[in-house]
Amino acid sequence: GLPLPGLELKINAPDEKGIGEIFVKGDSIMLGYYKNQKLTEEAFDNGWFKTGDIGFFDSDGFLHINGRKKNVIISKSGENVYPEEIEDILNRNSFVLESMVYGEQDEKHTEIIAVQIVTDAEVFIEYSEKNNVKITPELVNDIIGEAVKDANNELPAFKQIRKFYVRDSEFEKTTTQKIKRYLVKSVH
């Protein structure tokens, strides 16, 4: 959207597509971390608060957020991949309750796009009853494989998911219902 009144926004060090870290300045921005000068200095650059979000402005002046700076995956072609973008596409599938995209080393020690997926059990139960089929690990893998394939059809090659894993349990979340990415272990 558009910046709120009283706030200035800028894209710091934008790339050739105008994408970079979002910096914000204004009276409603925090002054710093309580009794922590070091963190305060790291969070600001000449009075601008470094949000940690990556985004760009479109031709109408609207701000678009691609994802978080610390979550960016660098593809082997050197392109930035924003996990949140891929997760948004995957999570539109009714069989997918939630997902977490991340970079994983393959056997050639190249970083590939991987995803862990939590399925929506209720949707699978409805599917099972409607189609008179038993829910098996193979059925779940086939249906989630199709969901990944559908998502990949919407993505350029460098952003495509190369591996997926179906989780048995939901991700641990913050109080604002964001996945605690740092707690999720890679599956190899």
CA distance 33 to 124: 46
Amino acid at 138: E
Task: Decide: 98 and 166 in contact? Cβ < 8 Å.
Answer: no
Number of neighbouring beta carbons within 10 Å of residue 159? 21
- Greatest C-alpha distance within the chain: 63
Its pTM stands at 0.76
Place of tokens 């979000």: 53
**Chain CA centroid to CA 135, Å:** 29
Closest CA to 82 of 97, 70, 99: 70
Closest CA to 161 of 86, 49, 63: 86
pLDDT at 109: 64
Q: Which residues of the chain have a pLDDT value below 70?
A: 109, 185-188
pLDDT at 104: 87
pLDDT at 111: 80
Task: Decide: 69 and 81 in contact? Cβ < 8 Å.
Answer: no
pLDDT at 172: 87
pLDDT at 188: 53
> In Å, how far are 12, 46, 107, 124, 169 from 147, measured between CA atoms?
35, 45, 25, 13, 19
